[in-house]
A and B are shown apart, each in its own frame.
Chain A
């Protein structure tokens, strides 16, 4: 629960190598850190800053811009219930109220067992399937109160193996073959690739 693990540092170097500038790997590495710890720890952000060569404040500035990076611990399952117009018309708010009762928490809170965090979100682009929600950004369509209870029970019982814990973007890791990598291989090597003009050159 701190800096990136050695395995993840290996992975981070591989990710950094995909880009011509180490800094470009910032967002993917933040996802990696969130995958590791479920949220972004200060230590992980500082570590990422070291890896890509920016200050911790710049990492925090970037990460905090995005709602989906969590700076505080959240549950294993992040439940986002839509209350925007389409879902609202189809019972989204009632669904949210039911979820609050079922889980015993208000939006923004996490259950005592650390399993669920509830959020009230704006449109998640599935209006045809309203009311809908996401668990760790995986859709559940046309959810009824009973459906919600079933979902919670399944998650509690570990029956929903298709939904990994919060922070995991995909079960299959992207792999970019060496020949298609854009840039440097290690963050220590700061040399820019030849096709990017050095800073300050060109028109002034």
Chain B
């Protein structure tokens, strides 16, 4: 929609206000006019939704050869020779008249309306409307705001019936829970009685409402638009990387709103992202460091807390006795600083940003990547092999939904239970947990499937195989962990099978935590160094800038917790992590935290795990620090500071630098820009990032960039074209300095023109290391089926007991609580009933939860929700097992 260069041959020449402009083929007049600088007022038209011509505000005088007539420009495709006049007397009279009609019943309560000051109706009345009303009759009256959901209120008097919210609910979100009710003068938007607008995307209707009819419960009467200060940033609620604007007033975050960028969120946000603005200002936020004395955690001076923190690290018996968990909630700069501290100064490789609930780093970074746009490209075929994206990555769900509904994208799902996208798939199969890879291998085959595999009937498998085989080009895969009760190896084996059969397949990792991709990219995983290189390959490259280097590949979170439980970890550092809540095996997390001699935490708020720490450093959180973040695609976008952190909380990179100083090494960082500059100069996949950000757009920067590194030697200039291989002009592999000095650059307009990095060769640090490679694994044998038992599927819902949701008062009550969902056909043999209680039992533990009937859960599967208030799933799961087998009994 935003391309500015139009090939005149493909374009349509139209005349707008006497000036000839070239419109795209099929472009609407309202869009063509706006793109070429003529704004036509509108209420109902929204560039991300289909036009309806509801409000008539965009009427303009158009002549298509039969004389000028008023036509709605949002419903009119440009045709050759069309002449539009947006400023004629007739057009102006029409605009004036429409506004007078709209205002006939619209209350003039602007002074107490949240929209006042940023209201399209207000603005356009000022610009195009009548000076005063001729309407003296009584206006329509309705009950002032009625809640249509827990988050959104509706004032029907103010509504101008533009159909934006109802179209959004039906066409974009797929939750048609609000609708026009009644007819004519009585028409109003409303929900069905007792069936609220409980959509994960309801907040978007508030944002697109062109009047103050829909308001958010979190923002009502909190601020006026002219008092707001706004900064653009990137949402950090999940890893999709939606662009948002942060509005603050009096140094308090007031609200978030979606910003439209083409490659990611199209202006939409999920409610968790939007209303997590409340979490920024939560009372639970740490405003000062805490240290443990005899009476528990007490506030301390920064110098004391940092000294104790540093001393604990210094006193560790060896590098191997330090373990670091977490980092997925940080900025790239924070993650790099920690990475440099722990790996490059303290030389431990026991560092893992994921909590055993994601995918191995080699799979995230090493699989051939696909962007969201590539996954959603019209006519494509997508294999969904991961979590329910509606629950974990909601805006990716919107994109996939749009792709399936509007862009003829074929979705094929392989998941342990049905998901929010199941109804839109061409085929959806639900293999027994643990046996997904066998099904995927069969689906990749060329032979027809004539037998049941992993509990899926042959006919269903064949339908899915046929749908995949019908793909006209390479398929894309959305890859993630559908259930934390199932080993990540199952997913890796499935990916391996896909790659073996279709090497041209590309993958989008469906990981959940905000900057998990950036944390992995910055080396916060065992065996990795910043810039998507392995420890083995990159050790020499980093030897000039990092004082030390781990001697061997370290432990992941599971390994760290096991080692801690065995007493082999002296210092366990939690970087915003809560293993007690998030690690799939709560028992191991508990033993690990207990077994670690010292637990140190850096966090924005206390959680179950950091309450057990000896020192807790107060960290600045979202909207309180600048930086960059990397989304699931590997797209880097900027994070901005809008407010000051609570109390004396500081950004993580500062804490890493302070600690390093106390340990006798200067990390060399005095601002986040210093960190970014070092990342951009040394991290292979991030080379030249700072230039690209400085010159790039709000869309962010997709990495790795096409970078040409030029070694500035007198005679022997070296030009490297491929971003992964460094070669000289004569083709020989050469050494490139790690100490790159950027002298000249240009951001490529397209991929053909690489960025030039000019480096000096003062201290050569070996050849640029290659990127991480995916390490395929063979199919794995699932345990035999226990016909009395159930295989556990432990998946996430959007709202849970996580810190973010629970610190936002509007979101906290939305967590559904613990339930076990069973296929209704299982009820008789178990003797349980929907709504009743049942015991879910494994060898380790049993939990007492409410039973829910769910036809989307296959027989033989018990589906539970992770991290809910009562009945923790992680009590049941053991990381030793490939899948969790449970028994279900009636609760006593």
Contacts and interface: CB of A to CB of B under 8 A. Distances in A.
B192 interface: yes
Interface stretch (A59-67, A83-91, A141-149): A59-67
B182 A42 contact: no
A61 B186 CA distance: 12
B750 interface: no
A57 B406 contact: no
B179 interface: yes
Contacts of B182: 64-65
B405 A64 contact: no
A57 B181 CA distance: 8
B193 interface: yes
Contacts of B177: 55, 57
A57 B183 contact: no
B183 A56 contact: no
Contacts of A55: 175-177, 179, 192, 195
A57 B165 CA distance: 13
Contacts of A199: 405
Contacts of A67: 183
Contacts of B406: 200
A54 interface: yes
A4 interface: no
A61 B195 CA distance: 13
Interface in A19-49: 42, 45-46
Interface string B865-884: 00000000000000000000
B178 interface: yes
A56 B192 contact: yes
Contact of B179 (A42, A61, A201): A61
Interface centre among B175, B179, B407 (most CB of A within 10 A): B179
Contacts of A61: 179-181
Given A199-B405, A201-B408, A42 B180 contact: no
Most buried by A among B181, B190, B406: B181
Secondary structure call for the A interface: helix
B191 A57 contact: yes
A64 B195 CA distance: 16
Contacts of B181: 57, 60-61, 64
B408 A64 contact: no
B382 to A, nearest CB: 15
A58 B176 contact: yes
B408 A60 contact: no
Nearest to A61: B179
A122 to B, nearest CB: 13
Given A57-B177, A201-B408, A64 B183 contact: yes
A64 B191 CA distance: 12
A54 B405 contact: no
B188 to A, nearest CB: 10
A46 B195 CA distance: 10
B178 A57 contact: yes
Interface string B157-184: 0000000000000100001111111110
B743 interface: no
A178 to B, nearest CB: 25
Interface string B388-414: 000000000000000001111000000
B752 interface: no
Contact of B194 (A42, A58, A201): A42
A57 B149 CA distance: 14
A58 B405 contact: no
Contacts of A42: 192-194
A199 B171 CA distance: 13
A55 B199 CA distance: 13
Given A60-B179, A61-B179, A61-B181, A200 B405 contact: yes
A58 B177 CA distance: 7
B853 to A, nearest CB: 14
A84 to B, nearest CB: 18
Contacts of B179: 55, 57-58, 60-61
Contacts of A66: 183
A54 B179 CA distance: 12
A144 to B, nearest CB: 34
A177 B192 CA distance: 35
Nearest to B197: A57
Nearest to B404: A200
Contact of A46 (B178, B192, B408): B192
A61 B161 CA distance: 14
Interface in B287-304: none
Contact of A57 (B176, B405, B407, B408): B176
Interface centre among A57, A58, A59, A199 (most CB of B within 10 A): A57
A42 B195 CA distance: 10
A42 B191 CA distance: 12
Nearest to B188: A64
A10 B191 CA distance: 28
Contacts of B190: 57, 60
A45 B181 CA distance: 13
B176 A45 contact: no
A65 B192 contact: no
Contacts of B405: 199-200
Given A60-B181, A61-B181, A200-B405, A54 B176 contact: yes
Contact of A45 (B170, B191, B192): B192
A184 to B, nearest CB: 16
A78 B194 CA distance: 28
A197 to B, nearest CB: 12
A124 B176 CA distance: 35
B193 A65 contact: no
B470 to A, nearest CB: 14
B802 to A, nearest CB: 29
A65 B182 CA distance: 5
Interface string B315-349: 00000000000000000000000000000000000
Contacts of A56: 192, 195
Contacts of B193: 42, 60
A54 B176 CA distance: 8
Nearest to B194: A42
A45 B179 CA distance: 14
Interface in A112-139: none
Interface in A63-111: 64-67
A85 B191 CA distance: 38
A46 B177 CA distance: 12
A200 B405 CA distance: 7
A201 B405 CA distance: 11
A59 B193 CA distance: 12
A58 B195 CA distance: 12
Contacts of A45: 192
Nearest to B378: A204
Nearest to A66: B183
Interface in A180-204: 199-201
A159 to B, nearest CB: 37
A51 to B, nearest CB: 15
Interface string A2-22: 000000000000000000000
A58 B503 CA distance: 45
Contacts of A57: 176-179, 181, 190-192, 195
Interface in B459-509: none
B165 to A, nearest CB: 12
A65 B179 CA distance: 11
B77 to A, nearest CB: 12
Nearest to B192: A56
Contacts of B175: 55
A71 to B, nearest CB: 9
7 contacts: A55-B176, A55-B179, A57-B179, A57-B195, A60-B190, A60-B192, A60-B193
Interface of A: 42, 45-46, 54-61, 64-67, 199-201
8 closest cross-chain pairs (CB), A and B: A61-B179, A56-B192, A57-B179, A57-B192, A55-B176, A65-B183, A64-B182, A64-B181
Given A57-B179, A57-B195, A65-B182, 5 more contacts: A45-B192, A55-B177, A61-B179, A61-B180, A199-B405
